[in-house]
């Protein structure tokens, strides 16, 4: 689902109006009515509530006038306030304001701070406030009376429903440009907007509802400019196809997990578990020979390959040929390898020489810190990297804070420059592709901030790559299911107590839920 910035939203509006012939007043009518429908679904006592609708002078205010009229027609006790000069209300907004007047609902003009102070007691006595002051077009901080309006509304404690964006946010950035409405619910129009899905601005949005106002999806998808999209359940479900009755393990790929070192065998186990639980037909772990007995005893489902080891228990550079000979469909390399000189030389040699797709994580990425130009994809061989912000920072020579401040841009730029797929982990994990597209994952929770969850994801990406043979699809599906499994684990164990093993154990539940199948418990005859 495409995420639009302010200029892209204007472009979509203009195409719908000029090219398709949808009148702008129809889009405004649809926006207001869809907003009320979302309010009815969210607030069960809406019909018994007293609602204050705060409107600006532009089109967002016009949406608010339609909201007020629709609520009035539902029998809701509604008050309407225009913050600014009513004489400056123009176009479709003016038309809808005049319709309100003819229906007997007079809007109160709030043209100065004294009038706001006079009428705020009426607003404070309401059960719900609708924020229709500013839409996506705001580009500078609110000031003067508008700052006071926002501060008073926020201090009132009354739930606020924002139309399109909470007033005070910019449609072009997730950064806070100034104070803004703290909405309980945001009903955004036609498509999600960047400040509603990324921090810190997303914390001002509350629950987000996307309202269909009649702009076709192909118009939204075709607008010019940076491509940013949300991963949706429907799109991810379509990637998981039922298996043929005569399928065999060779149909679902052989993943070689190159991972582990003395003291970090768990990383290899978790990556292999992620691959197995994600449907890989065969999984092998190539690991330093001192680690093999431990890993072989941890699970019977994967195979193990002992590799030459360094004196500290990591993989020695001499093991390169052995790994390349053992590799089949996909190599996942990095979890728990350690950062000794010999191990880093081994990683770089494998990445340089491997001809099959690669998924590189953790210490596999640390081997390229200071020399990221060696980390490239090429014709016939996809490379996927799955860094957390610290690993990404080491790759690009920045601080972790700098990476976190510009996650989308840094992931996109690295993917394009190095022709790799970047899975930048963290809150709102990103998938960036070599063709400049970025996808945002909305599943997951803070309980996943625990050691090993990234190792599970490494195996998952490799397994889906082995099955789908499509790097972009594999990244998207893996991060979505990874977050779903984390959400299911959090529901059972809570954010504080859940572990990466709990997440791995819930991968099957996540796949069943995504594919709309349910687990049949023993004794269940239904």
Mark whether 353 and 206 lie in a shared domain.
Answer: no
Q: Which of 184-188, 404-408, 514-518 has the lowest mean pLDDT?
A: 514-518
pLDDT tens profile 227-280: 999 999 999 999 999 999 999 999 999 999 999 999 999 999 999 999 999 999
- Packed helices 24-42 and 91-102: angle between N→C axes, nearest 10 degrees: 60
Mark whether 271 and 221 lie in a shared domain.
Answer: no
Burial class (CB in 10 A: 0-12, 13-18, 19+), 402: middle
Mark whether 221 and 281 lie in a shared domain.
Answer: no
Mark whether 88 and 220 lie in a shared domain.
Answer: yes
Mark whether 424 and 366 lie in a shared domain.
Answer: yes
pLDDT tens profile 65-84: 999 999 999 999 999 999 99
- Packed helices 407-418 and 389-396: angle between N→C axes, nearest 10 degrees: 50
Q: Residue 21: inside a domain, yes or no? A: yes
Mark whether 53 and 190 lie in a shared domain.
Answer: yes
pTM: 0.94
Question: Measured between alpha carbons, how far is 508 from 165 in angstroms, rounded to an integer?
Answer: 37
Mark whether 206 and 293 lie in a shared domain.
Answer: no
Give the structural domain span for 436. Answer: 253-514
CATH number of the domain that residue 84 is part of: 3.40.50.10260
pLDDT value for 523: 46
CB 456 within 8 A of CB 500: yes
Mark whether 168 and 271 lie in a shared domain.
Answer: no
Coil, strand or helix at 424: strand
Please count the structural domains in the chain: 2
Q: Residue 173: inside a domain, yes or no? A: yes
Q: Write out the H or E segment, with its range, that includes residue 255.
A: strand 254-258
Mark whether 257 and 165 lie in a shared domain.
Answer: no
- DSSP state letters, 206-224: -EEEEE--S--HHHHHH-S
CB 327 within 8 A of CB 303: no
Provide the 10 A C-beta neighbour count for residue 51: 23
Mean predicted confidence (pLDDT) in 169-179 = 95
Check pLDDT > 70 for residue 403: yes
pLDDT tens profile 323-334: 999 999 999 999
Mean predicted confidence (pLDDT) in 163-182 = 96
CB 340 within 8 A of CB 310: yes
Q: Which of 6-15, 329-338, 439-448, 515-524 has the lowest mean pLDDT?
A: 515-524
Check pLDDT > 50 for residue 519: no
Cis, bond preceding 33 (omega within 30 deg of 0): no
Q: Residue 343: inside a domain, yes or no? A: yes
Helices (runs of H) and strands (runs of E) counted in the chain: 20, 17
Mean predicted confidence (pLDDT) in 406-435 = 98
pLDDT tens profile 20-41: 999 999 999 999 999 999 999 9
- Could you tell me if residue 299 is left (phi over 0), alpha (psi between -120 and 50 degrees) or otherwise beta? beta
pLDDT value for 524: 45
Q: Residue 82: inside a domain, yes or no? A: yes
CB 191 within 8 A of CB 164: no
Q: Residue 63: inside a domain, yes or no? A: yes
Mark whether 373 and 462 lie in a shared domain.
Answer: yes
pLDDT value for 379: 83
- Packed helices 59-73 and 24-42: angle between N→C axes, nearest 10 degrees: 50
Task: Give 253 or 378, the one with higher predicted confidence.
Answer: 253
CB 35 within 8 A of CB 187: yes
CA-nearest of 31, 393, 308, 348 to 188 is: 31
Provide the 10 A C-beta neighbour count for residue 118: 12
pLDDT value for 370: 87
CA-nearest of 150, 159, 154, 152 to 177 is: 150
CB 402 within 8 A of CB 393: yes
Q: Residue 525: inside a domain, yes or no? A: no
Mark whether 31 and 70 lie in a shared domain.
Answer: yes
Structure tokens at 336: 């728990």
Q: Residue 521: inside a domain, yes or no? A: no
Q: Residue 1: inside a domain, yes or no? A: no
CB 443 within 8 A of CB 478: no
Question: Measured between alpha carbons, how far is 442 from 1 in angstroms, rounded to an integer?
Answer: 12
* Residue % of the chain over a pLDDT of 90: 96
CATH number of the domain that residue 387 is part of: 3.40.1190.20
Check pLDDT > 50 for residue 518: no
DSSP-H helix ranges across 75-125? 91-102, 113-124
pLDDT tens profile 81-137: 999 999 999 999 999 999 999 999 999 999 999 999 999 999 999 999 999 999 888
Task: Give 521 or 14, the one with higher predicted confidence.
Answer: 14
Mark whether 292 and 201 lie in a shared domain.
Answer: no
């Amino acid at each position: 689902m495409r995420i639009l910035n302010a200029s892209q939203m204007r472009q979509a509006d203009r195409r719908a109006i000029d090219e398709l012939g949808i009148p702008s007043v129809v889009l405004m009518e649809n926006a207001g009515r869809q907003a009320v429908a979302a309010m009815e679904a969210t607030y069960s006592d809406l019909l018994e509530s007293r609602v204050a609708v705060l409107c600006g002078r532009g089109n967002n205010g016009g949406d608010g006038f339609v909201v007020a009229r629709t609520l009035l027609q539902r029998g809701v006790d509604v008050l309407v306030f225009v913050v600014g000069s009513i004489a400056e209300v123009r176009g479709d907004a003016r038309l809808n304001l005049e319709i309100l007047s003819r229906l007997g609902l007079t809007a109160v003009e709030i043209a100065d701070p004294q009038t706001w102070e006079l009428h705020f007691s009426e607003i404070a006595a309401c059960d719900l406030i609708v924020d229709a002051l500013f839409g996506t077009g705001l580009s500078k901080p609110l000031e003067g009376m508008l700052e006071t309006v926002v501060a008073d509304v926020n201090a009132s404690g009354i739930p606020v429903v924002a139309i399109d964006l909470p007033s005070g946010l910019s449609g072009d950035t997730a950064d806070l440009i100034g104070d803004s409405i703290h909405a309980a619910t945001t009903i955004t129009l036609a498509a999600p907007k960047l400040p509603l899905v990324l921090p810190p601005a997303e914390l001002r949005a509350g629950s987000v509802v996307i309202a269909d106002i009649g702009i076709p999806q192909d118009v939204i998808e075709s607008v010019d400019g940076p491509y940013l999209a949300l991963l949706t359940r429907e799109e991810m479900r379509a990637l998981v196809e039922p298996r043929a009755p005569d399928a065999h393990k060779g149909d679902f790929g052989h993943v070689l997990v190159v991972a582990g070192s003395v003291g970090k065998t768990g990383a290899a186990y978790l990556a292999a578990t992620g691959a197995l639980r994600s449907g890989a037909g065969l999984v092998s772990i190539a690991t330093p020979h001192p680690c093999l007995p431990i890993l072989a005893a941890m699970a019977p489902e994967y195979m193990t390959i002992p590799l030459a080891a360094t004196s500290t228990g990591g993989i020695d550079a001499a093991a390169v040929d052995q790994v390349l000979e053992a590799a089949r469909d996909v190599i996942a390399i990095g979890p728990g390898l350690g950062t000794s000189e010999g191990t880093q030389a081994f990683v770089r040699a494998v990445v340089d020489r491997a001809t099959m797709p690669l998924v590189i994580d953790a210490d596999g990425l640390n081997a390229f810190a200071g020399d990221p130009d060696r980390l490239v994809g090429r014709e016939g061989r996809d490379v996927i990297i799955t860094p957390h912000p610290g690993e990404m920072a080491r790759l690009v020579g920045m601080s972790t804070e700098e990476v976190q401040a510009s996650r989308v841009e840094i992931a996109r730029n690295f993917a394009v420059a190095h022709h790799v797929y970047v899975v930048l982990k963290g809150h709102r994990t990103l998938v960036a592709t070599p063709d400049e597209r970025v996808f945002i994952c909305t599943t997951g929770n803070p309980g996943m901030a625990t050691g090993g969850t990234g190792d599970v994801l490494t195996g998952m990406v490799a397994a889906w790559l082995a099955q789908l043979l499509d790097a972009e699809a594999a990244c998207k599906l893996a991060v979505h299911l990874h977050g779903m499994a984390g959400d299911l684990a959090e529901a059972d164990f809570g954010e504080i107590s859940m572990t990466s093993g709990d997440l791995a154990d819930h991968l099957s539940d996540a796949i069943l839920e995504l594919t709309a199948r349910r687990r049949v418990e023993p004794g269940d005859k239904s």
